Structure 1
Amino acid sequence: MPTPPITEVAPRTWIVQPSWVNAACFETDEGLVLVDAGQATDAERIHSAVRSVTAAPLHTVIFTHGHVDHAFGLWGFLDAGERPRIVAHENVVPRFRRYARTAGYNTAANARQFSVDPATVPWPRDDAHFVWPDLTYTDALVLTIGGEEFHLHHARGETDDATWVWVPGRRTLACGDFWFNVSPNCGNPQKVQRYPEAWADAADAMAALGAEILLPGHSLHQTGVDHIRHLFTVQAEYLRTIVDQTLTGLNAGLTHDEIVAALEIPAHLAAEPSLQPRYDRPEFVARNLIRQYGGWWNGRAADLMPAPAPAWTAEIVALAGGVAPVVARARVLADPAAPDHDLALACHLAEWAVTAAPDDPDARACAAAVFGARAAAEPSLMGIGIYGAAARQAGSRPD
């Protein structure tokens, strides 16, 4: 198995990049400190990468949070007989227990999000699948290892169990998922609550550190005090403008859809390379905030206790004269050359048709084509995953 990239960013300080997720490795006089451990499928690659540069014993592993791509790749070290101390925020433990309870849902959601076969998603299902923390903390913790201090700070952001790690003697910040080179993952449509306001506060705190090296949980490491400060400063501003606009809309009595439609990212933030909506997008962050502050009801009375979707879509399709005209109109709206091209509206019509007549081959073909086009036009990975899954589902139904 080839050794994955491992880069020494400073003396005895490495970033390990076995796949799309990173780990940070610090060699001290007492042993190694590993910040994050990757995903289960990365375990052997992380172990081989670290052992290609140092034979120092693994002393401590810090989980920046309990996501499966950060806290489940330690098996390479454990299988080699190493028994490091595991440190994490106290909320990692209930997260792990929730993961075991919702394994079926999370398997399906992650398969949809990343456009993969559910059979390839190794989701933990019982206690033996987790590496449980030996030491947890609540707000902050300083670890002294090999004469060096590692400052652990808790903040809510993408998760409620997140930790960022400041190593002042090396002017190095390991931030987990608090920064990577896309807009903040703070609105995922298929996942539990995210916390944009607390994330912005954490970004301000990290901007103020004067870090010279940033080791993120994803994407390339960053260097330079001014550059790193800028990355966190614009991130905080981006999140706060979404928070402010969303709360203004809620307080004005706007519906969820009206709030999202009115959302506008200032031009200087929309142009920031590190804030592009390639993973999450601002509309999703706004809906996440609406859920946090305003509940799940969308403001439309009929949707409070709605009729079953097959019933109301069948009624609409019947009023339109049947499946054929609905499908025809959806295809026109999806055509980029049409003067009234509207891919979002085309998706509604295609979904109505296939929901009302799930066995109709034209309705299925239309839904597959329209949602496939929507996925192709969508910048965010989360949107691509959901639209792509809808296209595949429509196209896979047997005639």
Structure 2
Amino acid sequence: MSFKDLQLNKPILRAVAEAGYDNPTLVQEQTIPLVLAKKDVVCTAQTGTGKTAAFALPIIQLLFDRQDAPKKGKKIKALVVSPTRELAVQIGENFKTYGSYSNLRSTVVFGGTSIEPQIDVLTKGVDILVATPGRLLDLHKQDIINLDYIEILVLDEADLMLDMGFIDDIKKIERLCPNDKQILLFSATMPFKVEQLANTILKTPQRVEVTPTSSAAKNVSQVLYYVPKRNKIELCLHLLRNTIKGSILIFRRTKFGVDKLEQTLVKNGYKVETIHGDKAQNLRHDALNKFKNGYVNILIATDVAARGIDINELDAVVNFDMPNVPETYVHRIGRTGRAESFGKSYSMCSEDEKSYVKLIEQLINVQIPVEHNHPYPLDPKAKPQIHKSKKTGSKHKKGRKSESSKKNKKRWY
């Protein structure tokens, strides 16, 4: 199937061809006709399957005939809500690329940066708005954003939005839009909470399930190293020197862990950037650009910061900490091996993380190959380390007197 078969108009086809896409992906084939038919859609698809184009292309097509309103007279007709700033920026770039031969105006608003430039663009008038929930509601409260004319509402990465605690914001945004809007909900996984949300706000939705949520990226070779927790940094350095080459994305569970690993790698002469929630937006943006443009070849990130980031030509993903949610593993390794290219994933598992590996293997239905030949093997008899407090209470037994009080006491015998 080609994009022509999806009934897209010539300006869109031209923009798609110039962006270097020949044929639609499976999620695009199935979703675009449903969106053009103005159906509500629930789509389960992982990042890297081309789902942004699956909603961006039909939205541009649906709004195409009414694109020439004077700038000031433009009303926001399509709203895309996204959980993270990085993802919002990326979606905004896609709309600009695909809509390059239309007069539709789109913009992106998100927190963590100055609100004034965003207000300037909005007051000039836009057709398509991509936004994170907090900043969107903030601008709505200030009467800068009017949601009365929304025809299409897209909730992207719905599972992550609910994980991040945006459920009430999402419901509020949905209520602020007109009743007769079309809703498109995209989610990498379909936990009960997302299912519940879909049933509450969508009208008889059509369902598109591309890869079953459990399938790990087919183009990624996976390998697992069992290693004592204290030796993880040494093993990481060993692998970087001898095995892992190219552009590398390393995942850690905490912001503190990200910073600690960065310091070690920099000391050892590696060029490294990091992204996590505590970093200012402009610094996260700079870090990502340096990595994308090859100024550094290692990016260390937490899961929330890295979700949905589109990095082409990524050679390897390293799970420094094993994720405790099995779906997260699928997202992480899905960052590499995208769009028909091949990638590699390396996971380091300490004794206390073995249960996570079991859950991951059950989910992806694959036993991850284990590499035993490395300098820091895990002792098979090792028990998980449980940190106990050194304080053990009073040194005196209950009901016994201290030595000094015994000496002072005159005995009757």
Report which of the two has the higher share of helix: 1
Between structure 1 and structure 2, the one with the greater Rg is: 2
TM-score (norm. length: structure 1): 0.29
TM-score, normalisation: structure 2: 0.28
Q: Which has the higher contact order (CA 8 A, sep 6+)?
A: 2
